[in-house]
Structure 1
């Protein structure tokens, strides 16, 4: 881990400078040597980083939704070119380019904050050993070493030996209790974040292997964080717990305000929208008007949640308009119009005779090449005479070769 952290040493100076600035602010309130001053400095560092990453988070949401929508097409490409990996990759890249989807966008927030994470780990490791780093001089390093969060030094780890913990003026039991609680909270927040994403903000109409992969990650990620957490200093656990809580809250806001089409969260959002329209008689808010406008523009491509939204509005006596507003009408009239629109969305099944006639009409005629490939015996067969009652089978008599009559039978 030290080797990995040293790769991000170029950013340790900015990270240490930000921590010192926040420490000077909180130190004036709680005291410069307290755990509150140093702990809140780390929390503020996380908040600042995550605010800067909001544009990447928006791209992550769009990329994740596009990937969910493309799963059926991707599966079809894999099955079609399963024996040609190069062609399969080319078609995948072509699909990404046509839809404007970047598979790496879903990992951008994690990749973007990784340098800050490893830089903070490197800073805390230096504090634990009493060495200066970045803009942290010796007095600040000594102050940070004396800072305790619930009795655990911010530079202590779960796996530290008793002698090292005693050098930081703390007990091993306090360090392990505090770190264990933080690791459990960190893992639970990660699990809950992934769980609410899978249960509420996933398009339930798309059944693909992508769904199974996300479900596996829901159980694997918390275990990975728990295993890695025993080697993290308390300050890094504070950092990672804060960023997990931020992600959970940010995702809850997105699920409630901008859910994925076709998901359970969208159904709940549209139900709340129906209640709001029923109570106020109008669509309140620019965001809600944009949602109604998008649903109206979809036309026959609406999903089940959006058709249910139309039906609920019709029962309440409202009809959505193209500008995102609603129009008050008679409930019976609104339900009749909604039923008629629903019937228009369902194509009528044609009679069997008409389908057979269309199939016969669409069947391609034989080409000259196909005619040339016909057996010669078929070409040399003489044509059957068009008429002649003697050569035609009598009515009620079996066609083809007849069985000879027995000699004793009457003619």
Structure 2
């Protein structure tokens, strides 16, 4: 069903190999650079083809950023009602023509290319070429000429190496004896693949994290889950799945991540995202306040020219100030009035003695 895609990817790979064919037969650092460079430029070609979609991805992320305040209002309004919240979110996306899945579209479109290269390199087997040379099977029966390959190209790619590790080998290779002609060592192969798997994980994490640092974490639960899956889930998954990839596929993934890092850096510098304040968790709390408000903690001027309180000033919780049940009421102490002079008491010498009444007592 995907033979047409396998043929297209093979055609691009083989055309780049033709460009670097002058390096055929020359091993530098136990590496056949004609096939390594063919894989590198296959990545560059695919990234150029997908570049318009990458631009749409950036525009979609900008649109999602503009909807952050409205999504925050919906979350506060329908807190605890997840079903209604999802319906309101979908309606908001439809009305504003925003698609939260567009941010992952370039990655999803690269998955068929990855699968195609995985299948193509998995077919490489030096024993098939030997069987054809010795007349045991024909070229057509050995499937060495599928997807526009020639027998010479199949034989050359089957014996291609990177630092002594065949590009068709795997970390847990079940039939490593097929590379006996190369005198390859499975321990050395595992060292090369292990190092590249670690680099693949790190560059995958940095590629996803680079975009998050510029745009911020999403407030939409669905988009936030996808962001966390891309940043943390995918690199962790590669730790286990990378051991079953052919070495050439791992090379493709690492080069793709490095190209993506450079491409994203250029696009984000040329089209920087709008500045938005971040909360304590690092998420986007909304757009910058209008009317001269600042995100540095200082308030703006009110109508009387005085400093208004900042938006991010700490709020006082009224529940903590309320008295506990059963506690005795405490009368607050009255503070003495300020700027009130004390009362002067006249000296006792100037006060005349009190006279007794001269009226005689009756009876």
Fold match (TM-score > 0.5): yes
Q: Is structure 2 residue 150 aligned with structure 1 residue 137?
A: yes
- Secondary structure of the residue aligned to 2:245 is coil
Partner Cα distance (2:149, 2:112) in 1: 19
Q: Counterpart in 1 of 2:204?
A: 190
- Superimposed CA distance per residue, residues 271-315 of structure 1 (whole angstroms, 9 cap, x where no aligned partner): xxxxxxxxxxxxxxxxxxxxxxxxxxx99367747x99xxxxxxx
Q: Is structure 2 residue 38 aligned with structure 1 residue 41?
A: yes
Q: Counterpart in 2 of 1:55?
A: 52
- Superimposed CA distance per residue, residues 168-192 of structure 1 (whole angstroms, 9 cap, x where no aligned partner): 6421022111111111111111122
Partner Cα distance (2:163, 2:267) in 1: 33
- Secondary structure of the residue aligned to 2:244 is coil
TM-score after normalising by structure 1: 0.58
Partner Cα distance (1:140, 1:42) in 2: 14
Note if contact 1:8-1:118 (Cα within 8 Å) is conserved in structure 2: no
Partner Cα distance (1:137, 1:302) in 2: 68
2:237 pairs with 224, 231, 238, which one? 224
Structure 2: runs of 5 or more not aligned: 129-142, 278-287, 309-363
- Secondary structure of the residue aligned to 2:67 is helix
Partner Cα distance (2:167, 2:206) in 1: 26
- Secondary structure of the residue aligned to 1:135 is coil
- Secondary structure of the residue aligned to 2:290 is helix
Q: Counterpart in 2 of 1:155?
A: 168
Tell me the matched-pair count: 278
Partner Cα distance (2:2, 2:23) in 1: 32
Deviation of the 1:259 alpha carbon: 2.3
2:18 pairs with 20, 24, 37, which one? 24
Note if contact 1:63-1:105 (Cα within 8 Å) is conserved in structure 2: yes
Q: Counterpart in 1 of 2:5?
A: 11
Note if contact 2:301-2:307 (Cα within 8 Å) is conserved in structure 1: no
Note if contact 1:186-1:241 (Cα within 8 Å) is conserved in structure 2: yes
Q: Counterpart in 2 of 1:74?
A: 71
Q: Pick closer, same or farther for the CA change 1:101–1:142 going to 2, 3 Å.
A: same
2:125 pairs with 125, 128, 136, which one? 128
Partner Cα distance (1:36, 1:105) in 2: 36
Q: Counterpart in 1 of 2:105?
A: 108
- Superimposed CA distance per residue, residues 369-391 of structure 1 (whole angstroms, 9 cap, x where no aligned partner): xxxxxxxxxxxxxxxxxxxxxxx
- Secondary structure of the residue aligned to 1:300 is coil
Q: Pick closer, same or farther for the CA change 1:68–1:166 going to 2, 3 Å.
A: farther
Q: Is structure 2 residue 248 aligned with structure 1 residue 238?
A: no
- Secondary structure of the residue aligned to 2:42 is helix
Note if contact 1:26-1:41 (Cα within 8 Å) is conserved in structure 2: yes
Deviation of the 1:106 alpha carbon: 0.8
Partner Cα distance (2:162, 2:97) in 1: 46
Say which structure, 1 or 2, has more relative contact order (CA 8 Å, 6+ apart): 2
Partner Cα distance (1:225, 1:183) in 2: 7
Note if contact 1:16-1:136 (Cα within 8 Å) is conserved in structure 2: yes
- Secondary structure of the residue aligned to 1:127 is coil
